[in-house]
């Protein structure tokens, strides 16, 4: 993680350039297991070096992450989220369409998170497909994985642990599963996402951070 002094040094350098690098994370986040050709995927091994390069590039002052996800590999998604959260350059995320499952940690990992008014965030418990061993260790594994997600989201947003778990375990919204779909306004009201907005709002906030004006977007 960057301390305040290092962020100040990076900010001074960014003021001389000010370019914004855009990264898109859409579809399913693909991890070590290869998904089918009929699935729209974002390969995490492609995103990680892009973010690392953006952090080091002197001509880049900030990073914009555009999100429209439908789930994916938890470990891969958290790896990307941790890399975003550890960047010294200002970062902003914008959910467009949907932020399903791993989309929530990816969104809140940025310094400032935005969601389009027509977009939504889907929160539900961790699930796996395929063969599952009916043993206590399996259920403990699920609990640990879910706790990693809950811990990350609550550490990087204003939503409380109790409220987040309540959304994830709700049986009142989805017809065939547990979970909750939050509209853009609801996601902001809950404290999960910082602000409603679009591309111009996210870019305005990033440029303000690069210029040192620290503008706030409602």
Establish whether 100 is a catalytic residue: no
Among residues 93, 101, 113, 157, which one is catalytic?
101
Establish whether 157 is a catalytic residue: no
Q: Which residues pair with 26 in a beta bridge?
A: 68
Among residues 21, 124, 156, 157, which one is catalytic?
124
176 phi-psi bin (left φ>0, alpha ψ -120 to 50, beta other) = alpha
Q: What residues are annotated to the active site?
A: 101, 124
């Amino acid at each position: 993680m960057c301390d305040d002094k290092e962020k100040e040094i990076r900010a001074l350098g960014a003021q001389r350039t000010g370019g914004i690098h855009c990264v898109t994370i859409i579809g399913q986040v693909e991890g070590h297991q290869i998904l089918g050709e009929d699935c729209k995927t974002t390969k995490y091994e492609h995103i990680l070096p892009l973010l690392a390069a953006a952090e080091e590039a002197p001509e880049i002052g900030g990073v914009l992450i555009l999100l429209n996800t439908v789930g994916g590999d938890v470990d891969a998604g958290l790896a990307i989220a941790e890399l975003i959260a550890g960047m010294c350059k200002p970062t902003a995320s914008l959910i467009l369409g949907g932020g399903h499952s791993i989309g929530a940690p990816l969104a809140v990992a940025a310094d400032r998170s935005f969601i389009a008014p027509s977009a939504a965030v889907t929160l539900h418990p961790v699930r796996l497909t395929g063969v599952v061993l009916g043993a206590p260790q399996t259920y403990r594994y699920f609990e640990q994985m879910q706790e990693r997600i809950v811990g990350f989201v609550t550490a990087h947003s204003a939503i409380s642990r109790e409220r987040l778990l309540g959304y994830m375990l709700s049986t009142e919204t989805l017809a065939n599963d547990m979970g909750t779909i939050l509209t853009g306004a609801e996601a902001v009201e809950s404290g999960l996402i910082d602000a409603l907005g679009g591309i111009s709002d996210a870019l305005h906030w990033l440029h303000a951070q690069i210029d040192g004006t620290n503008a706030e977007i409602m």
